[in-house]
Amino acid sequence: MAAPSDVSAMLDVAIAAARAAGAHMKSHLSTSRVEKTKSSKDDLVTVVDKQCQDLVFATIKQSFPTHEFLGEENVAPGSEASARALRELASKEWLWIVDPIDGTTNFVHHRPASVVSVACAHLGDVVVGVIYDPYRDELFTAQQGEGTFLNGQPARVSHEASFSEALVGFGIGTKDSVRLPMLDCAREFSAKCRGLRLQGAAAIELAWTAAGRQSAFYELDLNSWDVAAGALLVKEAGGHVTNSDGTPFSLSTRNIVVSNNKGDIHASMLELIKKADAVNVRKAMEQQLPAPYQVNTWFFVCGPLAVNTFLLGLAANLHVFKKHNLAFDRVMDMRPDEVPTARGVLKTALAMTLLQLLLFNGEAARRGDAFGVDETRMEMLLLGYAFVAAALLLCPLDVLHYKFRMFVLRKLARCFWPFQHFSFKLPAHATPFIEVFMADGMTSLSKFIQDLIRATQCLISFQRTTSMNDRFLHLLNTMKYCSSLLVISVGAYPMLMGLARPEQSSFFLLCAVFNSLYSFLWDVVMDWGLGQPKLPRRVAFLRHQLTYRPRKIYYVIIAVDFVLRIMWVTKWWDWMHRGVHFKLVSQVAEVVRRIIWNFVRVEWQCIKLDILGTKKLSADSLELEDIIEKMPLMEEDEDDDVEDMKPRMRPVSRPNSFSAENSGTETSSTLSQSPPRDGNGGELLLQAMRNAANSENAAPGANAEGAQHDEIIAPAAITVASYPDKPQAMLISGGDLTASTHLRRDSSPNKATTSSADGAVVDEM
């Protein structure tokens, strides 16, 4: 037994610590916000919880530096974790048990119904208990064998001796496995007692029972820090404290029943609890309910799931690039043997996904609770996943695309350290596209550091670029990433300081919306090369050269990018639905947006470098509509005078397109870039024009004389699509006649075959 003088000193220290924490809690009532959840979506934690606990521990350690401490904020979530923590410390000579804010849900909702609970146990037996309510300035204290006091005045339990006259307090808990039996119990109680009351904080219920403000209290699945101080208060005030099955109370008791120890009240409560089958947490029912959200579960799932989704997207990117002949290796400055296969990346992604499922589901199956895992174990599993991922990336064996992995490692090193060697000297050239591409991809996995990397890359390119226009664009790009850093900083500051939620700040919303719209416009105009003016209606707001079909897919991509860019703002909202945190959805959505972004970004880079693979025009059986669809786009000059028939140059989208116009008996042709690359050159064009003229002259009412002279050609417009070493296609229009031809090279160098739209084939020598 400890000396009374020592216990009295501990009581004084406990009072000082409780008052300090209570004052801090009260000052932050109007600005409290949720930082995370623990054992369920309703088991909340705020920044102020940790701050109050630190105040209590610091105050006690000044007087008792050798004592042990058990605080709610230092224990992983879940019933098993708290029970294990108590078992490890229960045998200590002196153990302080602290709940810095009991009633956190009330505190988060700015409801003044939360208290500080401080208890001290000697060899597992509680000898000091203090509960402080800062909003009413009520201090409940008890010392073993010395009675209970409220603000220095003796306190005693109530005098009711019949359960029919009893006012009973109860707790609803934070888990469905607790709430359902408690509601059954409340139904039984309400039919027998005078009334039921629920305060939302077990420590308040116990303190008020000790002070005679209610007759009894019962709740399932409480932790030692919830009941240690309150149980001593009730005992010293003359009350009775047991387990739900009637066994004596100890620090390991989780289902607590307290009463004023008068008449039949305690016995009636035990009987009704048993009748309602509310003696224990309903394990079987708990397993059938939807798994509650856990902050650590989200943290575990979100990171690996985002990485695995990114790998699956990379496999899709590689497959589509190969299908559309996009020179991925040339764009990324890779050797052909460094380019991975889509199938290989897909296998790696599936293997990593399987690893994630095995780690998580294996642990959940072992514990019998899909999401009820403690923080330490979840962090160890996350480290295990990261270790396997790093081992696969760093593996020195020539397996799993070894050359590609080494290429990625070199470029990652350049991204994180863009300077020359181990100095801060800037590189001699602007940041290459591959490093920009990789850093952009990493921003979808982690924002702050990667935004800093991209801003640094933009500034380096600004310094190493001579063109004033390009330098200005690099500055604009730097501003984009700086605006993203501003959003993160403005959103993180109130979260770290325990102030109002970030979405409640108009400045935060302004910064977030500005950054999202800025980034969206940059995606469309600069990264994708879309939004070009003066285009035909069928490609309005797009660009001349489009690889993917149908063209409408580009409009869908633009719309999806806009929605997901705006969705980034909502990552700061603390939304939950059926236990699934909204941040998990938004993180995966951002990775999906990046995958879609890759498709168009690489395509546009191929176009800018003029290494875009061209589709081969098909065989003679193509319909006219298909021919028109595959023709190079021509810009319309709306300012042309209709009556001015003078031949003129019309720019076309492809560098090897040919356009010719003629009027009356005089034919003139204009070469836009280069003539059709064919041995017969102009002879093929002349034959096509003759075919058009003869077809028109053969129509009813045509001039027979004109049909006899090849030199007289009817008004016609001919467009020739020519591709190196590939068939040529012509669209010939004249008067009311429109015909199409395909010019195919024969094996003979001096012979070509012309196929008209009606299927006729003409051989020319």
Binding-site residue positions: 72, 99, 101-102, 226
614 closest CA partner among 326, 334, 418, 413 = 326
Q: Is 26 helix (H, G, I), strand (E, B) or coil?
A: helix
* Cα–Cα dist 10/8, whole Å: 5
Rg (CA), the chain: 39
Q: Return the bridge partners of 149, or none.
A: 141, 154
722 closest CA partner among 739, 745, 738 = 745
Q: Is 372 helix (H, G, I), strand (E, B) or coil?
A: coil
- The distance of Cα 350 from the centroid of its chain, to the nearest Å, equals 20
Query: What is 59-93 written as a DSSP string?
Result: HHHHH-TT-EEEEGGGS-SSHHHHHHHHHHHTTSS
Residue 274 belongs to what H/E stretch? Answer: helix 265-275
Q: Is 586 helix (H, G, I), strand (E, B) or coil?
A: helix
Cβ atoms of 200 and 113 within 8 Å: the answer is: yes
* Cα–Cα dist 171/255, whole Å: 11
Residue 472 belongs to what H/E stretch? Answer: helix 468-497
Handedness of CA 584, 588, 593, 597 (dihedral sign): positive
Distances (CA, A) of 597 to 444, 452, 523, 602: 11, 20, 8, 9
Angle 54-56-59 from CA coordinates, rounded to 5°: 105
Binding-site residue positions for Mg(2+): 72, 99, 101-102, 226
φ/ψ of residue 653, rounded to 5: -80, -30
Query: What is 418-437 written as a DSSP string?
Result: -SSTTS-PPPSSPPPHHHHH
CA torsion, ordered 89, 94, 99, 100, to nearest 10 deg: -130
Put residue 763 in one of left, alpha, beta given phi > 0 → left and psi -120 to 50 → alpha. beta
- Buried (b) or exposed (e) across 572-600, using 16+ Cβ within 10 A? beeebeebbbbbbbbbbbbbbbbbbbbbb
Q: What do you get for the CA distance between the two ends of the chain, in Å?
A: 119
Handedness of CA 451, 453, 456, 460 (dihedral sign): negative
